[in-house]
């Protein structure tokens, strides 16, 4: 059942539908790359992978409901829909009622994925970090659970949530949207700040620490969209009661972008790990075909001196693993005893660790 409208009718739903399709393709692609990365690099699976992958189905359902709503009037003025078929407003209200719960899931599950990612990467004995991660996890889980409850029971009777003509009462939509958007923004900022002292405490060069911090910020750039949705909530949500179907697409631009970039950002380290793995495999295969004897000699010489040569992407130093998600990082500087050596000497595909010690007799 669709809605036939005259040609040239103002419609905000067309742009929203195009954006949803593009985002759906990108998030599906990035999630697929994440899975491929885990298989190719032979990394162990953990809870951060579970929550990241589970985020995609929630977004698919949410986008599907919004596209179905667009088919029956989302993006058009309410007056036009009322004059054509008032029951379409009730049907669209049902779509939005269900889509809201899946939207809450699509922005919370990536947050949980990042929290578990920090727990896996920063494995140092850091009591402050453990407390922060537990607090963040409980806040996100509580936020999601309370959002489900408020969404389900936002009106009395429940049916009034999608049929506004019924007698009854509902929560203040503006205050509810504003509170959830503000708390989500605060949690995103907190998550972004968690790794800063750990990365900055690494005993490596200032340049490398800055590069790592930039990598973390780029990998969790969703904070920009979280703030944008908060601003959109203040500006747009109060107008929904006057012309919901016309104003809603503008709000959904920010909401859909936040959900999608959340899913994409949490899989960025895995995508980087896959690219590095394939690149090193290509270089290794090309060197095998050319028969470089110096690499073999370097490897043998390293073993003869009691050093372990490092070859292949799975054996990179911990600092690289922090960015690519290639493994656990246990060398986070939580105390003066932590140290990451930067004295590796690159020999093509071989790295020889130098550890010279002078002892007095």
Specify the pLDDT at position 23.
Answer: 94
Enumerate the CATH 1.20.1070 domain ranges in the chain, comma separated.
Answer: 13-267
pLDDT one-digit tens code per residue, 277-305: 888 877 777 777 665 544 444 444 444 44
pLDDT one-digit tens code per residue, 225-242: 888 888 989 999 888 888
pLDDT one-digit tens code per residue, 55-112: 999 999 999 999 999 999 899 999 888 888 889 999 999 999 999 999 999 999 999 9
Percent of the chain with pLDDT over 70: 77
Contact present, 314 and 280 (Cβ < 8 Å): no
pLDDT one-digit tens code per residue, 241-291: 888 899 999 999 999 999 898 888 888 888 888 888 888 877 777 777 665
Matching CATH number, 13-267, of 1.20.272, 1.10.3470, 1.20.1070, 1.10.540: 1.20.1070
d(CA 75, CA 71): 9
d(CA 275, CA 7): 47
Residue 27: CA atoms inside 13 Å, Cβ hemisphere, count?
28
Specify the pLDDT at position 124.
Answer: 60
d(CA 228, CA 240): 18
Specify the pLDDT at position 317.
Answer: 37
Specify the pLDDT at position 210.
Answer: 83
For the entire predicted model, the pTM comes to 0.76
Specify the pLDDT at position 248.
Answer: 92
Is it the case that residue 315 has pLDDT exceeding 50? Answer: no
Q: Is the peptide bond preceding residue 157 cis, with omega within 30 degrees of 0?
A: yes
d(CA 180, CA 132): 20
Specify the pLDDT at position 219.
Answer: 66
Specify the pLDDT at position 359.
Answer: 53
pLDDT one-digit tens code per residue, 172-219: 989 999 998 999 899 988 988 888 888 787 777 888 888 777 777 776
pLDDT one-digit tens code per residue, 107-140: 999 999 999 988 888 766 678 888 999 999 999 9
Specify the pLDDT at position 324.
Answer: 47
Span of 156-165, 226-235, 290-299, 333-342 with lowest mean pLDDT: 333-342
Specify the pLDDT at position 106.
Answer: 92
Contact present, 15 and 54 (Cβ < 8 Å): no
Specify the pLDDT at position 254.
Answer: 92
Specify the pLDDT at position 292.
Answer: 53
Three-state SS letters, the chain:
CCCCCCCCCCCCHHHHHHHHHHHHHHHHHHHHHHHHHHHHCCCCCCHHHHHHHHHHHHHHHHHHHHHHHHHCCECECHHHHHHHCCHHHHHHHHHHHHHHHHHHHHHHHHHHHHHHHHHHHECCCCHHHHHHHHHHHHHHHHHHHHHHHHHHCCEECHHHHCCCCCCCEECCHHHHHHHHHHHHHHHHHHHHHCHHHHHHCCCCCHHHHHHHHHHHHHHCCHHHHHHHHHHHHHHHHHHHHHHHHHHHHHHHHHHHHHHHHHHHHHCHHHHHHHHHHHHHHHHHHHHHHHCCHHHHHHHHHHHHCCCCCECCHHHCCHHHHHHHCCCCECCCCCCCCCCCCCCCEEECCEEECCCCCCCCC
d(CA 90, CA 161): 9
Specify the pLDDT at position 42.
Answer: 84
pLDDT one-digit tens code per residue, 5-28: 777 788 898 999 999 999 999 999
Specify the pLDDT at position 28.
Answer: 95
What is the mean pLDDT of the segment spanning 156-184? Answer: 90
Cα–Cα–Cα angle for 172, 173, 179, rounded to 5 degrees: 95
Strand partners, 351: 310, 346
Specify the pLDDT at position 303.
Answer: 44
d(CA 191, CA 143): 15
d(CA 312, CA 349): 7
d(CA 253, CA 255): 6
Two tokens, residue 200: 């900055």
Is it the case that residue 327 has pLDDT exceeding 90? Answer: no
Give the number of other Cβ atoms within 10 Å of residue 258's Cβ: 27
């Amino acid at each position: 059942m669709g809605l036939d409208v005259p040609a040239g009718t103002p419609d905000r739903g067309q742009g929203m539908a195009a954006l949803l399709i593009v985002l759906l393709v990108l998030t599906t692609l990035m999630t697929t790359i994440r899975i491929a990365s885990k298989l190719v690099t032979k990394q162990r699976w953990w809870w951060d992978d579970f929550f990241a992958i589970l985020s995609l189905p929630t977004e698919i359902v949410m986008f599907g409901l919004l596209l179905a709503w667009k088919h029956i009037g989302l993006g058009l003025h309410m007056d036009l829909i009322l004059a054509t078929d008032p029951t379409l407003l009730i049907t669209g209200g049902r779509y939005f009622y269900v889509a809201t719960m899946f939207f809450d899931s699509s922005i919370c599950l990536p947050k949980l994925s990042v929290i578990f990612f920090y727990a896996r990467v920063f494995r140092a004995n850091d009591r402050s970090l453990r407390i922060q991660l537990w607090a963040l996890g409980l806040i996100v889980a509580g936020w999601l659970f309370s959002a489900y409850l408020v969404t389900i029971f936002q009106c009395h009777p429940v049916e009034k949530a999608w049929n506004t003509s019924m007698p009854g009462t509902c929560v203040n939509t503006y205050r509810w949207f504003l509170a959830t958007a503000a708390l989500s923004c605060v949690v995103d900022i907190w998550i972004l700040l968690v790794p800063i002292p750990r990365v900055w405490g690494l005993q490596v060069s200032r340049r490398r620490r800055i590069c790592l911090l930039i990598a973390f910020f780029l990998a969790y750039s969703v904070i920009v969209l979280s703030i944008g949705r908060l601003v959109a909530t203040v500006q747009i949500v109060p107008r929904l009661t006057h012309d919901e179907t016309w104003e809603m697409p503008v709000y959904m631009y920010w909401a859909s972008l936040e959900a999608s970039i959340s899913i994409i950002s949490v899989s960025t380290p895995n995508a980087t790990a896959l690219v590095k793995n394939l690149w090193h495999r290509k270089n290794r295969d090309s060197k095998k075909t050319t028969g470089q004897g110096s690499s073999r000699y370097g490897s043998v010489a390293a073993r003869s001196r009691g050093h372990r040569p490092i070859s292949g992407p799975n054996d990179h130093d911990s600092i690289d693993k922090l960015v690519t998600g290639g493994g656990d990082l246990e060398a986070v500087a939580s105390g003066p005893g932590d140290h990451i050596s930067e004295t590796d000497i690159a020999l093509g595909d071989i790295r020889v660790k130098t550890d010279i010690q002078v002892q007095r007799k």
